[in-house]
Copies of this chain bind each other. A is one copy, B any other.
Amino acid sequence: MVLVRQEIGDVLRDFRLQKGRTLRQVAGDASVALGYLSEVERGQKEASSEILAAVADALDTPLSVIMSEVSDRLAVIEGLSVPLSGHVPDTVPAELVSGYRSELLAQR
C-alpha cells in the first residue's frame, strides 16, 4: 500500500536539506517538537494540516510546491511516470534530428 505520509516525510526532509537547515532550526521556526518533526520526516507520524502549514512556512516553501513534489513521487511509485526519462519523448521530430546532424557535420 502506497502511504502518502512516507512521501510527505521524504519531501519535507529533502527540501530542508536543500536549504541547508537542521531539524532543530526548522522545528524551532515551525514551533513543532523536534522529535515529532523527525518522526514526520521518517514517515512514522501523520502531520496534521496545521503542522504541515507551519513546516512549509518554516521552509519558506509553498504547500502547493510540497504537494506537487509528493504527487510526482507517488506517480513514480504507482508506475504512472518514470523519473527523468519520463520527460523525454519516444520519438524525435525528423527536422530536429536532421538539424542536429547538420550541426554535427558543421562542427567537423
A residues lining the B interface (CB < 8 Å): 1-6, 46, 48-50, 52-53, 62-65, 67-68, 70-72, 74-75, 77-78, 80-81
The answer to whether A75 and B48 touch across the interface, beta carbons within 8 angstroms, is no
Residue in contact with A64 in the complex, picked from B5, B48, B50, B78, CB distance below 8 Å = B78
Query: In the complex, A45→B38 CA distance in Å?
Result: 23
Query: In the complex, A49→B52 CA distance in Å?
Result: 14
The answer to whether A74 and B70 touch across the interface, beta carbons within 8 angstroms, is no
A61 to chain B, nearest CB (A): 11
**Majority secondary structure, A binding face:** helix
The answer to whether B6 and A49 touch across the interface, beta carbons within 8 angstroms, is yes
Query: In the complex, A1→B53 CA distance in Å?
Result: 7
Closest to A4 in B: B49
Question: Which residues in B have their C-beta under 8 angstroms from that of A4?
Answer: 49, 52-53, 63, 67
Question: Which residues in B have their C-beta under 8 angstroms from that of A81?
Answer: 64
Query: In the complex, A20→B81 CA distance in Å?
Result: 28
Question: Which residues in B have their C-beta under 8 angstroms from that of A53?
Answer: 1-4
